[in-house]
Amino acid sequence: MKIAFFSTKSYDRESFLKHASDFGHEFSFLEPQLNRQTVALAEGHQAICSFVNDPLDAPTLKKLSDLGIQLIALRCAGYNQVDLEAAKNLGISIVRVPAYSPEAVAEHAFALLLTLLRKTHKAYNRVRENNFSLEGLTGVNIYEKTIGVIGTGAIGKSFCRIAKGFGAKVLAYDLFPSEDMKKIGVTYLPLEEVLSKSHVISLHCPLTPETRHLINSKTLQQMQDGVALINTSRGALIDTKAVIKALKTRKIGYLGIDVYEQEEHIFFKNLSEEILQDEQISRLMTFPNVLITGHQAFLTREALDQIALTTLRNITEFEEGKPLTNIVAIS
């Protein structure tokens, strides 16, 4: 099949071309984000491959359908950016990569936490200026702290295992508690109790209408003063305005985010020569206890390899008329 890849970077090209000869598909790597203006670039292809911040709303899907596109292969796990009802009505199949390297995201979440608690990012900058002072670098142990994990899917489970390895007490909230996690000592509690009893809260749940702004002014008040909040899942799980207020009052002691609710206009772009127009993320970056990375958690060699392989298998299944292993079910 001839596939148009949108929002592609050098690492996408490298990982997919590495396996190209094993599948026989033809690739067109396109740098622009997929949207209503760029959708015409899909002309002449049988399928498209899009990423997490490519908005697949009803008008874009209609244009793709008019171009003969019958398959959209998401090279990501989340699909909240897709109008599933519109895709169903147009007869477009949606496939995704449900799990590539859960450890990659979980390890990055823990890296954010460790960096914040031990202030290694500040120490790095100091030492590069020949400043070896330890003033202001006092950190906090993870050992014997209580870590709350919201969502224990594949990534949440990996994060729990890491936290247990550090000697932390792990509490979790999930609509479907894992027996495997219970066996390693994870305690499942109602959301309110997890929030109130944890020194650290790490988010690992999908973005749905029910979880949108899960972290808001009300749930923040249920947390301990000085809580560390980590989000490597979806940006809109957090109400950014409420979090800024909580940082100002020191309700939140540390904030580490790899995702942001308005990230589609910022992340994956080099804006170093531009004036950043987003006032909320600009405000977040003024806090000394905030660490932001640009949707980097998935970016390991191992994860990219699995993303490419799973995506290409998904496309081949469609081409050969086989049942789609990773189809996004549309009710």
Q: What angle do CA 98, 102, 103 make, to 5 degrees?
A: 165
- In CATH, the number for domain 102-292 is 3.40.50.720
Residue 123 main-chain phi, psi, to 5 deg = -65, -40
Check residue 331 and give its pLDDT: 67
Annotated catalytic residues are: 234, 263, 295
Residue 5 CA to residue 39 CA, distance in Å, equals 11
Tokens of 256: 């580490």
Residue 244 CA to residue 327 CA, distance in Å, equals 38
Query: Residue 282: exposed, middle, or buried by beta-carbon count in 10 A (0-12, 13-18, 19+)?
Result: exposed
Q: Find, among 205, 214, 267, 198, the residue nearest to 232 by Cα.
A: 205
Provide the residue ranges of all domains of the chain, joining segments of one domain with +: 2-100+300-319, 102-292
Query: Residue 131: exposed, middle, or buried by beta-carbon count in 10 A (0-12, 13-18, 19+)?
Result: exposed
Domains 2-100+300-319 and 102-292 share a fold: yes
User: 3-state DSSP helix/strand/coil percent for the chain, to nearest 5?
Assistant: 40, 15, 45
Tokens of 115: 């960096």
Check residue 100 and give its pLDDT: 85
CATH topology of domain 2-100+300-319: Rossmann fold (3.40.50)
pLDDT in tens, the chain (331 residues): 999 999 999 999 999 999 999 999 999 999 999 999 999 999 999 999 999 989 999 999 999 999 999 999 999 988 989 999 999 999 999 999 998 889 999 999 999 999 999 999 999 999 999 999 999 999 999 999 999 999 999 999 999 999 999 999 999 999 999 999 999 999 999 999 999 999 999 999 999 999 999 999 999 999 999 999 999 999 999 999 999 999 999 999 999 999 999 998 899 989 999 999 999 999 999 999 999 999 999 999 999 999 999 999 999 999 999 999 999 987 6
Residue 310 CA to residue 235 CA, distance in Å, equals 25
